[in-house]
Amino acid sequence: MKCIILAAGYATRLYPLTENMPKPLLEVAGITILDRILHKVDKLKNIDEIFIVTNHKFFQTFREWAQEYEGWQSIQVLDDQTTCNANRLGAIRDIAFVIDEKKIKEDLLVLAGDNLFDFELTDFLAFYHEKNTDCITAHVIEDVERIKRTGVAELDKHNKVISFEEKPKRPKSNYGVPPFYIYKKDTLPLIHQFIDEGHDGDAPGMFISWLLNKVDVHAYLFEGNRYDIGTLESYQEVQGIFIKS
């Protein structure tokens, strides 16, 4: 299995913190967001390569970080050649870019580089092997306004995904879906088909709603929280939570 970390955004809502520093390399309680994510990836012994896809602006910054990283897996940083928020590729096209560049033909774990989470990826991977389908993650969000700002899934009694919407105005459930996915190797060509058909590839969840018409998808339900660091206020809030813990 391979792993892609999505880190090609420009995080303009976090300016001035991210004008010259990529969001995944901001520190939370003294440890970068990216290091916290990779500490969990490091426990997955069947992942032999990690690809961090970023933009041209922050490519060298990530390269310098990677030279100091002490995990056991091979890490490669890829430059998607975009230069600003206006010409960014979007998450799905960045995934396709890495698949093409590295000729990936294995199962694929995809993680957003700016979300922290309480659960263990080892449990997510075990669920994936149990279901033997493409998998997403989900957790219960009771705050209606908060769930309107994320992906929302409807699930059957076996945790099979029966519908998915990205940031719905009228959520059909309280299952929020963070940007953490495992795709079977046979699904990877469908990512290119999704793009070739002209669908919006900015938010990674857009692909999930389309994919449901092609293959079965299951959701791993986790307890605890995930922390989407999108604004200065949310960054300060997460800092406080992790400092206390």
Which pLDDT tens digit goes with each residue over 44-93?
A: 999 999 999 999 999 999 999 999 888 778 899 999 999 988 899 999 99
pLDDT tens readout for residues 127-150: 999 999 999 999 999 988 888 888
CATH number for the domain that contains residue 31: 3.90.550.10
Q: Inter-axis angle of helices 188-196 and 91-102, to 10 degrees?
A: 130
DSSP type of residue 29: T
Residues 136 and 29: beta-carbon distance below 8 Å: no
Closest to 39 measured CA to CA, from 136, 139, 120: 120
| Count of the separate structural domains present in the chain | 1
Return the bridge partners of 140, or none.
175
* b/e map 82-103, b = 16+ CB within 10 Å: beeeeebbbbbbbbbbbbeeee
What number is the average pLDDT over the span 222-237? Answer: 90
pLDDT at 86: 87
pTM attached to this predicted model: 0.94
CA–CA dist 67, 76 (Å, integer): 10
Q: What domain range includes position 76?
A: 2-244
Asked if 242 and 159 touch (Cβ cutoff 8 Å), the reply is: no
pLDDT of residue 245: 78
